[in-house]
A and B are shown apart, each in its own frame.
Chain A
């Protein structure tokens, strides 16, 4: 049997703070050259697909993280200090 094409799909779901989620996915296919290793081609495609999904998701991830960072930054100082104390003690993240 000769494998002539490989297809790889990759998707990632990003959880959002308001119970929602966003989904990013790509599907890549490639034709194999004679003698080319299908497994290696699949791994390469998978890597490409993962990078592409990360690239697509990055703006939203940054936006969500910024919003979450702002939550901490707008807490009263006493509460912030308590959280930082716990982080320092390794009890919270």
Chain B
């Protein structure tokens, strides 16, 4: 404390730079700079002292020790959809409504106006880099900038989790900000390809985690501690201090953790949720086509194969990875026939011979029986037109039944239970089958809207008339963070 200098007011931070993911933009052209595998520090006004301090502390530009300046995840990390001209923000939205700042308070508020489009997601994380304080004598905020949907999802989920773990206050916790390799699926030449990207991760330092674990362990054992573990109510730091030295008003004790419950977990071993486990078992049962007892063992083997360790110790992110794998496999196995409202292109002509018409009918019957559908009765005395009409009807029933099964599969992934089991449609007429498929598609759209309304990660909803597959893909991303790094395919 320095009287007259710091007693009047605390030193106030200013904005001193940006941590970027890419190289500087080339002098010519509009292409962005090449993506890097580390952070590039871009100081305000190109301040060389800041640049030198950063380079000295982090020569490889990675694993940067930071503190978060504000209490909550939302205050520290802002993510929006934004549309910019060369120098000016045209609009900012949440993917649905445009947000504007109140001129008098600076607060963002929902205008209710629909997003005009043309915007792109951007995430800004505000951090304090202690190395710049000692290295460049500058106390200020550094903004970590990203336009990757995967970074935004990862950072917002991670910070929300740490906020909960830290009792609602992220301040005073030493975090490590890093870029790590992840395989993601991206659109390339009209197809999807898996590429390696360096995504942003934030996690508390090992020392803080160990302290929290130790504090939780002692609390769980309820043993009288020789040395009290205390959390500084102002800074969030954990101190080892003799009980006598503690002024009650200054400190709060670490909250107890119920006995028998895993205490505070290492961020890297955030356990999978019961919901994840249940979903994985369901997917694995289908994937392995095994009895339930065997499924768990097979799933365990799959975890070891995919993420290098068994299901019992798998983390939340590893469970997501394996879920994405199983969903991918399920999609690859599923037939992708689309409804064929019209009969097959090659139809018997009005003047064609009757035996050819019977041939088409027989082929449609085989397809129907393979699916368990009961074909209409057609006796050997049917006319050419009767056979043609029956073939057309049966082919459409086959196509709509397959579509219904496909939609039921999508619904299953998104928690939509069809009113009727698919078996109930084996004998129903074409119109009823079509209607059931349309109802299921409508329910899936409604489920995605519901998931969207409760999702933390902002993703734009597809257009009302977009294909159901587009809706399902958005639902998967919102629900499972499907295939980390995969962009929304529209």
Residue positions of A touching B, CB distance < 8 A: 14, 16-24, 56, 60, 65, 67-77, 79-80, 82-84, 86-88, 91-93
Contact = CB atoms under 8 A, between A and B. Distances in A.
A69 B10 contact: yes
Contacts of A20: 101, 106, 108
Contact of B104 (A22, A76, A84): A22
Given A72-B11, A76-B235, A60 B171 contact: no
Contacts of A18: 78, 106, 126
Interface of B: 1-2, 5-6, 9-13, 15, 67, 69-70, 78, 101-106, 108, 124, 126, 128, 130, 133-134, 137-139, 141, 169, 171-172, 174, 232, 234-237
A71 B5 contact: no
Contacts of A17: 15, 126, 141
Given A18-B78, A22-B106, A75-B67, 8 more contacts: A22-B104, A24-B104, A56-B104, A65-B9, A71-B13, A71-B128, A72-B12, A86-B133
| Interface majority SS (helix, strand, loop, mixed), chain B | loop
Contacts of B15: 17
A84 B133 contact: no
A72 B13 contact: yes
Contacts of A24: 104
Contacts of B1: 84
A68 B13 contact: yes
B2 A88 contact: yes
A86 B124 CA distance: 28
A92 B137 contact: yes
B138 A72 contact: no
A55 to B, nearest CB: 13
Nearest to A20: B106
Contact of B106 (A56, A60, A77, A79): A60
Of listed A20, A68, A75, residue having the most chain B CB within 10 A? A75
Nearest to B138: A92
Contacts of A22: 101-106
A24 B236 CA distance: 36
A47 B131 CA distance: 44
A50 to B, nearest CB: 17
The 8 closest A-B pairs by CB, nearest first: A74-B171, A72-B10, A22-B106, A91-B137, A68-B12, A69-B10, A71-B69, A16-B106
Contacts of A56: 104
B138 A74 contact: no
Contacts of A23: 103-104
A60 B101 CA distance: 14
B139 A83 contact: yes
A87 B5 CA distance: 8
B160 to A, nearest CB: 18
Question: From DSSP, what is the main secondary structure of chain A's interface residues?
Answer: helix
Most buried by A among B10, B134, B138: B10
Contacts, number: 104
A81 B12 CA distance: 14
A93 B172 CA distance: 21
A86 B78 CA distance: 31
Nearest to A67: B70
Contact of B67 (A69, A77, A79): A79
B234 A14 contact: no
Nearest to B69: A71
Nearest to A69: B10
Given A17-B141, A88-B2, A92-B137, A83 B105 contact: no
Contacts of B11: 72, 83-84, 87, 92-93
B48 to A, nearest CB: 16
Most buried by B among A60, A74, A79, A84: A74
A79 B1 CA distance: 13
A53 B334 CA distance: 66
16 contacts: A18-B106, A20-B106, A21-B101, A23-B103, A60-B106, A65-B9, A68-B13, A69-B12, A74-B171, A82-B130, A84-B2, A84-B6, A86-B139, A88-B5, A92-B137, A92-B138
A74 B236 contact: yes
A76 B1 CA distance: 15
A75 B13 CA distance: 12
A65 to B, nearest CB: 7
A75 B105 contact: no
Nearest to A14: B106
Contacts of B6: 84, 87
A75 B137 contact: no
A75 B2 contact: no
Contacts of B5: 87-88
Nearest to A72: B10
Nearest to B137: A91
A84 B130 CA distance: 13
B105 A60 contact: yes
Contacts of B128: 71, 75, 79
B181 to A, nearest CB: 30
Contacts of B108: 20
B172 A82 contact: no
A87 B138 CA distance: 10
A58 B88 CA distance: 28
A21 B232 CA distance: 33
Nearest to B174: A76
Given A60-B106, A73-B234, A74-B236, A92 B2 contact: no
